[in-house]
C-alpha cells in the first residue's frame, strides 16, 4: 500500500519480532522491521520449549525450521548429586507438540527472519530505533541507519502501530519510562560453547541437562547439546557469587564445573575452545505492556529467569496475542488490550514465575527430584516444563501457587503416610 508503506513497525528481528511480523503480514498487513544488528548475530537462549513450535507452525515457518537440522529435544533432565530426574515432553498432560529443538540462536533467528522476509515482511538490518513519539494522531519513530556514519541524521518513520520486540534493548521501556523493578533478585550467568566429546552413557542429547551444585544449592548449570557435537554450557547464581573478582570468566566457569562431580564427569573430555561470556541483571519488568499506538513483546517487556528456558516461548506467545489484537484493531474494531493481550499473557508468565521462585526457594526443586510422584502428576509438571503454562485445564497451571505448595509438602514428607494421588492434593 503506497499510502501506508510502514503500516506496522516492529523493533527487532529476534523470535518475538519475526513471529509477530509474519503473523500480521500473512493477514494482509504491511510490516517493516528495523533491526539494529546485522544477522547472523549471537543470542543467548538456545533451548526451546515444545509450546513455541505452535507459533512457528502458525507463522508458516515450520518446514524451514525442520530443514535447518537443529538438535531434536524431547524433554528436560535434572541432576543433583546422585539424584537424576528426567521429564519427557511427549508424556505431558496438555495437547500440542511434545518435541522441540536446541538451537544455535544465530542460525535459528536467521531462519525465522528470512522466513518472515520471504512472506513479504521488509527487514532493515543495521537500523537502530533511537526515538519514538506517540503524542500525535499517529506514532512516529526516529531510525538511524548504522551504515550511514555517525553524523548522518536519523530518518523519521510514520506508522500506525509499533510493536517493540527489541529484547534486552528494551527500547520503548526506556524511551517511555516504563521500567519497573522485578521481584526476582539479581543473578548472573557465565556461559560458553564447548566441543563436548561427551561419551557418558547416561547423558541424553535430546534433553537439556540442569545440574545443581552439590553445596551451593542456588547455583545451577545448563548443558544444551547441539546437533554438531557441541554444547552450550552455563552457570547461574547470585550476582555476588558468580561474578569473578579477577574478571577471569573462563576460570570461574571451569572451577564451578570442577566442583560439581556429575558435570565434571560428563564433561571430562570437553575441549574448551571458546571464550566465556557473562550476562547479569537480566530479570526485568514494566509498568504496562501496551499504550496508545504501541505494545511490548517478549523480552522487551518482561524477563524472568533462564532456569526453565521459557524466554523464547513467552516471546512468541506474546507475539501471537499482540498480532491478534492488532489485526482486529486495524480492521476497525475497538480492542481492549488489557483484557485481550496483557492479562492472558501475564497468566502464563505468573505461572512460570511461581515455578521459578519455587526452584530457588527449593520447593519446586524437591518436586522435580521426587521419585515417587504419580505419572499423572509428572505429566502435569512435564506440561509446564514443555511450555504449556497457559493451559488452564492443567491444575498445576490454573492454581499454580496452591498446587506447588501442596505438592512440595507431599514431596518433603508432610503427608508421609498418604499416597501421592491427585485427590490428596
Ligand atoms: P531478542 O532475541 O533479544 O531480539 C531482540 C532484537 O532486537 C535483537 O536482535 C536486537 O539487536 C534488536 N534491537 C535491540 N535494540 C534495538 C533498537 N534500538 N533498534 C532496532 N533493533 C534493536 N530462552 C529460551 O527460550 N531458552 C533458553 O535456554 C534461554 N536461556 C537463557 C539464558 C540466559 C542466561 C538468559 C539471560 C536468557 C535466556 N533465555 C532463554 C531468554 C532468551 O534469551 C530471550 O527470552 C529471547 O531471546 C527473547 O527473544 P526476543 O525476540 O524478545 O528478543
pLDDT at 1 (0 to 100): 46
Distance 293 CA to ligand 1 centre (A): 23
**424: pLDDT confidence band, cut at 50, 70 and 90?**
very low
Residue 423 pLDDT > 50: no
Residue 3 pLDDT > 70: no
**421: pLDDT confidence band, cut at 50, 70 and 90?**
low
Give the number of the atom of ligand 1 that is nearest the alpha carbon of residue 15: 51
Residue 168 pLDDT > 60: yes
Residue 415 pLDDT > 90: no
Residue 2 pLDDT > 80: no
Residue 24 pLDDT > 70: yes
**414: pLDDT confidence band, cut at 50, 70 and 90?**
low
Span 285-339, pLDDT tens digits: 999 999 999 999 999 998 999 999 999 999 999 999 999 999 999 999 999 999 9
Listed residue (154, 167, 174) closest to 44, CA to CA: 167
CA of 31: how far to CAs of 2, 4, 119, 147, 297, in Å?
13, 10, 10, 22, 15
The rounded percent of the chain whose pLDDT value lies above 90 is 91
Residue 266 pLDDT > 70: yes
Distance 48 CA to ligand 1 centre (A): 13
Closest C-alpha to ligand 1, atom 4 = 14
Cα–Cα distance, 156 to 250 (Å, whole number): 44
- Tell me which architecture the domain covering 8-70+101-180+284-348 has in CATH: 3-Layer(bba) Sandwich (3.50)
**Fold exhibited by the domain 187-280:** D-Amino Acid Oxidase; Chain A, domain 2 (3.30.9)
Span 94-124, pLDDT tens digits: 999 999 999 999 999 999 999 999 999 999 9
Contact assessment for residue 126 and residue 147, using Cβ atoms and an 8 Å cutoff: yes
Distance 17 CA to ligand 1 centre (A): 10
**Greatest CA separation for the chain:** 74
Residue 280 pLDDT > 70: yes
Closest C-alpha to ligand 1, atom 2 = 14
Span 357-385, pLDDT tens digits: 999 999 999 999 998 889 999 999 999 99
CA of 95: how far to CAs of 92, 191, 338, 394, in Å?
8, 33, 27, 11
| Residue range(s) occupied by CATH 3.50.50.60 in the chain | 8-70+101-180+284-348
pLDDT at 393 (0 to 100): 98
Distance 82 CA to ligand 1 centre (A): 34
> Up-side HSE of residue 387: CA atoms within 13 Å toward CB?
28
Q: In the predicted model, what is the mean pLDDT of residues 119-145? A: 97
Which of 294, 306, 349 maximizes ligand 1 atoms within 8 Å of its Cβ, making it the mutation to test the pocket?
306
Give the number of the atom of ligand 1 that is nearest the alpha carbon of residue 312: 25
The rounded percent of the chain whose pLDDT value lies above 70 is 96
Closest C-alpha to ligand 1, atom 44 = 311
Tally Cβ neighbours within 10 Å of residue 273.
10
Q: In the predicted model, what is the mean pLDDT of residues 14-37? A: 98
| Residue range(s) occupied by CATH 3.30.9.100 in the chain | 187-280
Span 208-262, pLDDT tens digits: 999 999 999 999 999 999 999 999 999 999 999 999 999 999 999 999 999 999 9
Residues with CB under 6 A from ligand 1: 11-17, 34-37, 43-48, 128-129, 165-169, 171, 189, 234, 279, 282, 298-300, 303, 306, 309, 311-313, 315
Cα–Cα distance, 401 to 358 (Å, whole number): 9
The complex scores an ipTM of: 0.99
Residue 23 pLDDT > 60: yes
Residue 152 pLDDT > 70: yes
Distance 13 CA to ligand 1 centre (A): 10
CA of 92: how far to CAs of 3, 99, 348, in Å?
49, 11, 17
Amino acid at each position: 500500500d503506497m499510502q501506508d508503506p510502514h503500516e506496522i513497525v516492529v523493533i527487532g528481528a529476534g523470535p518475538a519480532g519475526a513471529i509477530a511480523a509474519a503473523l500480521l503480514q500473512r493477514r494482509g498487513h504491511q510490516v517493516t522491521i528495523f533491526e539494529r544488528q546485522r544477522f547472523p548475530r549471537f543470542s543467548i537462549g538456545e533451548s526451546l520449549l515444545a509450546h513455541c513450535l505452535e507459533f512457528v507452525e502458525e507463522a508458516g515457518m515450520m518446514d524451514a525450521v525442520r530443514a535447518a537440522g537443529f538438535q531434536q529435544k524431547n524433554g528436560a533432565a535434572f541432576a543433583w548429586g546422585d539424584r537424576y530426574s528426567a521429564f519427557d515432553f511427549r508424556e505431558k498432560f496438555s495437547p500440542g507438540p511434545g518435541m522441540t529443538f536446541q538451537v544455535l540462536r544465530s542460525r535459528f533467528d536467521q531462519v525465522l527472519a528470512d522466513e518472515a522476509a520471504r512472506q513479504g515482511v521488509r527487514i532493515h538490518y543495521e537500523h537502530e530505533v533511537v526515538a519514538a513519539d506517540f503524542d500525535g494522531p499517529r506514532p512516529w519513530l526516529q531510525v538511524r541507519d548504522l551504515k550511514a556514519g555517525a553524523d548522518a541524521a536519523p530518518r523519521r518513520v510514520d506508522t500506525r502501530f509499533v510493536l517493540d520486540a527489541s529484547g534486552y534493548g528494551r527500547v520503548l521501556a526506556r524511551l517511555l519510562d516504563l521500567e519497573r523493578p522485578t521481584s526476582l533478585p539479581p543473578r548472573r550467568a557465565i556461559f560458553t560453547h564447548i566441543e563436548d566429546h561427551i561419551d557418558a552413557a547416561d547423558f541424553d542429547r535430546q534433553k537439556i541437562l540442569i545440574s545443581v551444585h552439590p553445596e551451593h544449592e542456588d547455583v545451577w548449570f545448563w548443558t544444551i547439546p547441539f546437533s554438531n557435537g557441541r554444547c552450550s554450557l552455563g552457570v547461574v547464581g547470585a550476582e555476588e557469587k558468580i561474578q569473578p573478582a579477577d574478571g577471569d570468566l573462563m576460570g570461574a566457569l571451569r572451577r564451578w564445573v570442577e566442583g560439581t562431580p556429575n558435570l565434571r564427569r560428563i564433561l571430562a573430555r570437553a575441549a574448551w575452545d571458546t571464550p566465556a561470556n557473562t550476562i547479569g541483571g537480566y530479570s526485568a519488568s514494566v509498568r504496562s505492556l501496551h499504550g496508545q499506538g504501541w505494545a511490548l513483546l517478549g523480552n522487551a517487556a518482561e524477563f524472568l529467569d533462564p532456569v526453565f528456558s521459557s524466554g523464547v516461548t513467552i516471546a512468541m506467545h506474546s507475539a501471537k496475542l499482540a498480532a491478534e489484537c492488532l489485526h482486529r484493531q486495524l480492521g476497525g474494531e475497538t480492542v481492549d488490550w488489557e483484557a485481550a493481550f496483557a492479562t492472558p499473557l501475564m497468566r502464563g508468565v505468573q505461572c512460570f514465575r511461581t515455578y521459578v521462585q519455587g526452584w530457588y526457594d527449593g520447593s519446586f526443586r524437591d518436586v522435580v527430584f521426587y521419585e515417587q510422584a504419580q505419572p499423572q502428576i509428572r505429566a502435569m509438571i512435564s506440561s509446564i516444563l514443555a511450555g504449556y503454562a497457559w493451559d488452564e485445564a492443567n491444575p498445576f497451571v490454573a492454581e499454580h501457587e496452591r498446587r506447588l505448595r501442596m505438592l512440595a509438602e507431599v514431596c518433603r514428607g508432610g503427608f508421609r503416610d498418604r499416597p501421592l494421588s491427585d485427590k490428596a492434593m
